[in-house]
Amino acid sequence: MILTDEKTKYLEEKAKDIRRDIIEMLVEAKSGHTAGALGMVDIFTALYFGILRHDVKKPHWSERDRLVLSNGHICPVLYATLAEAGYFEKKELMTLRKYGSRLQGHPHREFLPFVENSSGPLGEGLSQAVGMALAERIDNPTSQKFFYCLLSDGELEEGSTWEAAMLAGKTKPHNLIAIIDRNNIQIDGHTEDVMPLEPLADKWRAFGWHVLEIDGHNFEEIFAAVGQAKSVFNRPTVIIAHTTPGKGVLEFEGHYEWHGKAPNREEGEMALKELRTLGGRLKGD
């Protein structure tokens, strides 16, 4: 897909809407994960409004690409993007985390069939995405269906992630694309203080993956990386997307304290005001 200025502007508008919805739903829910959700808006926007093969009218279309969200705690961005894309009405976003809601605190496909997997406990999504790609290969070895797995950087501390990485390195599913939200924070602090992950790209290379590093807020880089990943036919690809946690609200940006808390009403109003005045600042700085 060619990214024209017009398309970029369209994506930026979508991303702004999604950020607004995330803030509003978190304020209403009074709990939830702010930093990661805001930080991944641009990637979710690129995926649902340009990259993924999907059909809002046929959520169970068998030929759709699959998106496995491994770090389920950033689900406000998934829900807000699904609503923006038209999978359900936006007013339902305000039910996040409430009793009887389809929008569970962490995604559950029994409640919301539009999600490919229930998740929450970390370090499990990559295994599921590898399994999907391997199952697809049995039926259709030259499949052009793509399997995207979104992971956090913190969850790379789970050993099971590397079990999955090893299996993908061995079986080499060409249609598996992992995207890591490299935002450098986790609950207890900065990743490199809590548990150093670097040299991260080298680790994935050592496991047999094609590795790309991008600015996760730059649509051109996101589209180019996915385009390149799709053309790599003999290995899975991991895109290490450098993002700013809390992106879009200066007061939230880069602060690990915002990993697992929701803005209160005042903070929410401040954040919304700031979003509206951001202008072009959402593009990669």
- Contacting positions for other proteins (CB under 8 A): 66, 68, 108-110, 116-121, 123-136, 138-139, 159-160, 163-164, 166-167, 170-171
With respect to other proteins, which residue has the nearer C-beta, 62 or 234? 62
CA atoms within 13 A on the CB side of 78: 30
Min CB(126)–other proteins separation in Å? 7
- Strand, helix or coil for residue 210: strand
Q: At what angle do helices 219-231 and 5-29 cross, to 10 degrees?
A: 100
Min CB(193)–other proteins separation in Å? 26
Q: Which amino acid is at 135?
A: A
With respect to other proteins, which residue has the nearer C-beta, 118 or 218? 118
Min CB(59)–other proteins separation in Å? 14
DSSP 8-state symbol, 72: G
With respect to other proteins, which residue has the nearer C-beta, 75 or 129? 129
With respect to other proteins, which residue has the nearer C-beta, 119 or 237? 119
At a CB cut-off of 8 Å and minimum separation 6, what does 260 contact? 33, 73, 187
* Residue 166, both tokens: 């090893």
Min CB(176)–other proteins separation in Å? 10
With respect to other proteins, which residue has the nearer C-beta, 149 or 275? 149
Backbone angles phi, psi at 73, to 5 degrees: -65, -15
Omega prior to 199 cis, within 30 of 0: yes
Instruction: Name residue 239's beta-bridge partners.
Output: 179, 212
Min CB(139)–other proteins separation in Å? 8
